[in-house]
Amino acid sequence: MPERIIVPFGPQHPVLPEPIHLDLVLEDETVVEAIPSIGYIHRGLERLIEKREFTEYVYVAERICGICSFMHALCYSQGIEEIMKIEVPDRARYLRTIWSETSRLHSHLLWLGLFADGMGFENLFMRSWRLRESVLDVLEDTSGGRVIQGTCKVGGVRRDIGAEKLAEMHRALDPFEEQCRDLGDVFLNDETVKYRLQGLGVVGKDDAYALGAVGPTVRASGVAIDHRETGYAAYGDLGFKPVVETAGDCYARCAVRVKEVYASIDLIRRAIDQIPEGPLDVKVRGTPDGEYFSRVEQPRGEVIHYLRGNGTKHLTRARIRTPTLANIPILVKMLPNAQLADVPVVVLSIDPCISCTER
Amino acid sequence: MTVNAEQTTISVAPEDLMREVEGLQAGGYRLVQIGCTDIGGAYEVNYSFDRDYQYRNLRLTLGPDTEIPSISGIYWGAFVYENEMHDLFGIPVVGINIDFKGTFIKTAEKYPFSVTRRGGDQCRNA
């Protein structure tokens, strides 16, 4: 039997923009066990709920993560709105959907670039991030912020996107989709990419479900869970079907995200077509008294904000369960039998977001 | 088609937890999260499960000295939440499949994390 050695992976590693640590137990070059640890950048953001008024905490929520910033604010706001029985105006629901899907585009294109970089395909990395740049330009144009949008609030949204700007976005979607499909064609059909990804980090449907995985990670194993199906924001009006693959390997996880880029473009297009005129917000009266588990589908999967108020302007508890935290168990199951050189690709395939995880 | 997502919460006693969780697992529910809330002198632990977007929540209310059994034998991935609950709230969870013994979440300050509970008791796992 080969000698077992432990190789530390992270917390600082070229493929990890944020710190997570894995102790990799190896026999020769083969991983036999992976033991994760987190907590290098724990910020205690949940505790801040006791110091900020419930309307102000949106600013904190959107700073949990720099990639799915808008969707954290949305999840928090929807939770408060549910507790306080606030009906959000239709136009605000559509604008929330447009910004959510634009954020998903930004996140998936960011991930595709990082994934290409992890595979050693530098040219593909540059192509992905060039497209991402144009998405960031749209976010900046419509919200004023490339990373933190600051547009979501309890009761609606803070700013509108004018008809002219929406028409401009709509016109830009066709050439943008064409470029994304060119890019996706490489990820889905290039022989070197397939050779690198297929059969790597395989998790079957039953295991993925039992391990509580979420997002593209679980959908790539054939489980059709996507919270947009519950119809929050304007998803109920637009209609939505989850993107599902069945192979459960790194290639399938990549394919789900590539196809979700196309789905997001389609959702934005239909949201722009159908967005109604009307107010952007409603006045928030009173204070939250009650509790709710608010759930939203982020780019990495289902995020949960558990919110609890006691009728004062400060909530008593915010507990945030982020998708990466839910995907750590499946990552631990993916790694055994992988080669050491494949570990960065397998780790990246769950799209880990550590700033979310740490809160 | 929009799916109607419902949330239900039921309170359970610590001694009934394993039976309830086994029942949910047999019913095809997935573990969504385990979260802890300090309610002043006691803790409330929410075990959340989901099947087809129907959200079931088991709620334990614990005194400061109560140990709880790990459900990681039923839901393997529960170790993430149980270690987090231990490291950030000091709740002793007995029998976690991967027990980090207070080192899963690395906090710069040990107190009040990881090693103590309300009243200053030493946590069993620390």
User: What domains appear along chain A, each with residue ranges and CATH number?
Assistant: 4-358 (1.10.645.10)
Mean pLDDT score, A303-332: 89
Q: Identify the weakest region by mean pLDDT among A39-53, A131-145, A309-323, B9-23.
A: A39-53
Q: Would the CA dihedral through B55, A43, A65, A248 be positive or negative?
A: negative
What mean pLDDT value characterizes chain A? 90
| Residue among B7, B38, B106 whose CB faces A293 most closely | B7
Tokens of residue A108, six digits? 């998936």
Q: What is the pLDDT of residue B2?
A: 64
A15, with CB counted inside 10 A (0-12, 13-18, 19+), is middle
Q: Which of A106-120, A166-180, A196-210, B3-17 is predicted with the least confidence, judged by mean pLDDT? A: B3-17
Facing A304 at nearest CB: one of B1, B33, B79: B33
CB A259 within 8 A of CB A253: no
DSSP-derived secondary structure for A266-284 = HHHHHHHHHPPPS-SB---
Per residue in B50-68, pLDDT tens?
999 898 999 999 887 788 8
Looking at CA atoms only, how far is residue B4 from chain A in angstroms?
6
Most B CBs within 10 Å: which of A49, A50, A293, A316, as the mutation test of the B interface?
A: A293
Is A164 a residue whose pLDDT tops 50?
Answer: yes
Across chain B, mean pLDDT equals: 80
Contact: B3, A231; criterion CB under 8 Å: yes
Chain A residues with CB under 8 Å of B35 CB are: 306, 319, 321
Reported pTM: 0.90
Task: Look at A212 and B32 and tell me if their CB atoms are within 8 Å.
Answer: yes
Chain B, nearest residue to A359 by Cα = B105
pLDDT digits (tens, 9 = 90+) for B76-121: 989 889 888 888 887 888 888 888 777 777 666 665 454 444 444 4
- How many CB atoms sit inside 10 A of residue B26's CB? 9
Q: Cβ–Cβ of A212/B104 closer than 8 Å?
A: no
Radius of gyration, alpha carbons of chain A: 20
Residues from chain B contacting residue A292 (CB–CB below 8 Å): 7
CB pairs under 8 A between A and B: 87
Q: What ipTM score was computed for the predicted complex, to two decimals? A: 0.86
Q: Which residue of B has its CA nearest to A307?
A: B37
pLDDT single digits (tens) A78-111: 999 999 999 999 999 999 999 999 999 999 999 9
User: What DSSP designation does B29 have?
Assistant: P
Chain A nearest CA to B118, separation (Å)? 17
Answer whether B7 sits within 8 Å of A317, measured CB to CB: no
CATH hierarchy code of domain B7-94: 3.30.460.80
Looking at mean pLDDT, say which of A3-7, A298-302, B41-45 comes out highest: A298-302
Name the residue ranges covered by the structural domains of chain B. Answer: 7-94
